[in-house]
């Protein structure tokens, strides 16, 4: 039902703002940049709306779901954790996990068609567990742990629940098979995060004791262990007692949810588009050869990432056509006017990113894959709200630099060694837009070793 309502709302994206019904709920759908700026650019319209309520048992009041002054405080508290100098410390993990994926695909090169989506998903799961919690779950090595499966399945059951209004009622949902699955996955996910937090707290306590002893003994300090996002949050907890351990768990869970599915979708769709456009793939290979020469094994550095400009345009153009988050919602916290019409407080507004970014109003030949759309001279003067794959305004994605760096490292690692050819036509791969824009039946590709 949700998908049908969205399709009806945006079957003509040049008609910008209209009303549709999702079950018993009236929704304002918009692809008009003036209206989008009014909503997303506001420091007051921060409530994500009741559709996100299905995520609350898992993510609590993490940054994705929080609102009002509490959100402002949490965002200000967490922003330094995403500073560029901190993100650079994660590049080693990006490289390590990308090399594992490149080895798996190299072993499959020249054989039968490969569905890249689950392989990429396992890679991004390894990355997010390493960077968020400092643990190695070995998803790419076949260690299909309970946690690994639960995080994938939880997203699926939540997306399924959002589609059907009768499942929005907790008393009904909790009695159904998916409701019982939801409860079991929740226990696994929260149990893992809490156990890692407790172990990290004990480790910090031991390290503090060791530091004290070495200071007295004037000994040489041991090599510092790489720090995860969780360690930064625990530092914030020690510095600010109002930031509780429960809130630490909420933010780690939020980072886990937002940080693996979105990047796996973006990387997979990028390979799909590259596999359809040999000339684009050749330009990417030429850029990689200029930066790395014949060395296909050297780890990628932050300096390398900055030099991969054309690869960046390719990623951006893919996110224009296949934004990882195809739509976002706001529940208005005050009366407003959209397209000249009064809209009362409490109304849900759905921003159709997928459809708006494919509109001929903002892009010429909007359905054509053209990375040159993001050359500096073509971006200049374009409405900034016409391209918002990471949302926009004060509530934009706090992790977009992290995601961009990760995607560049993984894609560059693969494309230094491999060539890709898409085996399905663009029309044959159906994107399913719920929480994340996924391919309905996977993405089948031919993989070859680069000569």
Give the CATH number of the domain where residue 272 resides: 1.10.630.10
**Residue 218 falls inside a structural domain:** no
**Residue 155 falls inside a structural domain:** yes
**Residue 214 falls inside a structural domain:** no
- Residue pair 271/102 in contact by the 8 Å Cβ criterion: no
What is the spatial order of strands in the sheet that 444-449 belongs to? 114-115, 444-449, 418-422
Give the count of domains, the chain: 1
Partners of 20 in beta bridges: 27
At residue 211, the pLDDT reads: 54
- Residue pair 350/403 in contact by the 8 Å Cβ criterion: no
Local structure of residue 345 (DSSP, 8 states):
T
At residue 144, the pLDDT reads: 65
Using DSSP, state whether 431 is helix, strand or coil: strand
Taking the C-alpha atoms of residue 77 and residue 152, their distance in angstroms, rounded to an integer, is: 29
Query: For residue range 75-87, what is the model confidence (pLDDT) as tens digits?
Result: 999 999 898 889 9
- Residue pair 221/214 in contact by the 8 Å Cβ criterion: yes
- Residue pair 150/185 in contact by the 8 Å Cβ criterion: yes
Q: Which of 186, 200, 183, 188 is nearest to 245 (CA)?
A: 200
**Residue 182 falls inside a structural domain:** yes
Q: Which of 143, 141, 147 is nearest to 256 (CA)?
A: 147
**Residue 215 falls inside a structural domain:** no
At residue 210, the pLDDT reads: 59
Q: Is 123 within any annotated ligand binding site? A: no
Q: Which of 402, 89, 98 is nearest to 227 (CA)?
A: 89
At residue 429, the pLDDT reads: 92
- Residue 262 to residues 36, 361, 371, 408, 434, Cα–Cα distance (Å): 22, 26, 20, 14, 12
At residue 194, the pLDDT reads: 94
What lies within 8 Å, CB to CB, of 252 at 6+ separation is 132, 133, 193, 196, 197, 229, 230, 233
Query: For residue range 4-21, what is the model confidence (pLDDT) as tens digits?
Result: 344 444 444 444 567 777
Taking the C-alpha atoms of residue 184 and residue 23, their distance in angstroms, rounded to an integer, is: 28
**Residue 217 falls inside a structural domain:** no
In which residue ranges of the chain is pLDDT below 70?
1-17, 144, 208-225, 434
Taking the C-alpha atoms of residue 80 and residue 86, their distance in angstroms, rounded to an integer, is: 9
- Residue pair 122/432 in contact by the 8 Å Cβ criterion: no
**Residue 213 falls inside a structural domain:** no
Taking the C-alpha atoms of residue 186 and residue 151, their distance in angstroms, rounded to an integer, is: 9
Taking the C-alpha atoms of residue 176 and residue 167, their distance in angstroms, rounded to an integer, is: 9
**Residue 53 falls inside a structural domain:** yes
Q: Which of 328, 331, 338, 347 is nearest to 47 (CA)?
A: 331
At residue 241, the pLDDT reads: 84
Tell me the residue range of the domain where 31 lies: 1-208+226-449
């Amino acid at each position: 039902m949700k998908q049908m309502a969205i399709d009806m709302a945006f079957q003509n994206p040049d008609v910008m703002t209209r009303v549709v019904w999702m079950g018993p709920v009236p929704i304002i759908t918009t692809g008009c940049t003036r209206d989008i700026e009014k909503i997303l650019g506001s420091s007051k319209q921060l409530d994500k709306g009741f559709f996100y309520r299905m995520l609350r048992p898992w993510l609590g009041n993490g940054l994705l779901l929080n609102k009002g002054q509490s959100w402002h405080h949490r965002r200000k508290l967490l922003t330094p954790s995403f500073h560029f100098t901190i993100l650079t410390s994660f590049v080693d993990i990006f490289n390590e996990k990308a090399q594992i994926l490149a080895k798996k695909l190299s072993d499959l090169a020249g054989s039968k068609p490969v569905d890249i989506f689950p392989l990429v998903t396992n890679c991004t799961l390894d990355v997010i567990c390493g960077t968020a919690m400092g643990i190695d779950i070995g998803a790419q090595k076949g260690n299909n742990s309970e946690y690994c499966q639960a995080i994938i399945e939880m997203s699926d059951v939540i997306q399924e629940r959002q589609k059907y209004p009768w499942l929005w009622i907790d008393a009904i949902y909790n009695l159904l098979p998916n409701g019982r699955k939801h409860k079991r996955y929740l226990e696994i996910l929260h149990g893992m995060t809490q156990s890692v937090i407790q172990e990290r707290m004990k480790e910090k306590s031991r390290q503090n004791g060791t530091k004290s002893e070495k200071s007295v003994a004037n000994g040489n300090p041991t090599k510092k262990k790489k720090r995860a996002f969780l360690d930064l949050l625990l530092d914030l907890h020690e510095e600010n007692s109002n930031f509780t351990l429960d809130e630490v768990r909420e933010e780690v869970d939020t980072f886990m949810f937002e940080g693996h599915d979105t990047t796996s979708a973006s990387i997979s769709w990028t390979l799909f588009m590259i596999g359809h456009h040999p000339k684009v793939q050749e330009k990417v290979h030429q850029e990689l050869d200029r930066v790395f020469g014949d060395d296909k094994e050297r780890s990628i550095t932050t300096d390398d990432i900055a030099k991969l400009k054309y690869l960046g345009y390719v990623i951006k153009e893919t996110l224009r056509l296949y934004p990882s988050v195809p739509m976002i919602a706001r529940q208005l916290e005050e009366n407003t006017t959209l397209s000249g019409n009064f809209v009362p407080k409490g109304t849900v507004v759905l921003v159709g990113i997928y459809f708006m970014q494919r509109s001929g109003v903002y892009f010429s030949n909007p359905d054509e894959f053209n990375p040159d759309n993001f050359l500096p001279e073509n971006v200049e003067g374009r409405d900034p709200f016409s391209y918002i794959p990471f949302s926009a305004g004060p509530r934009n994605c706090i992790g977009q630099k992290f995601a961009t760096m990760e995607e560049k490292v993984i894609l560059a690692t693969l494309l230094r060694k491999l060539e890709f050819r898409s085996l399905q036509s663009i029309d044959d791969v159906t994107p399913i837009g719920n929480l994340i824009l996924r391919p309905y039946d996977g993405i089948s590709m031919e993989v070859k070793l680069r000569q």
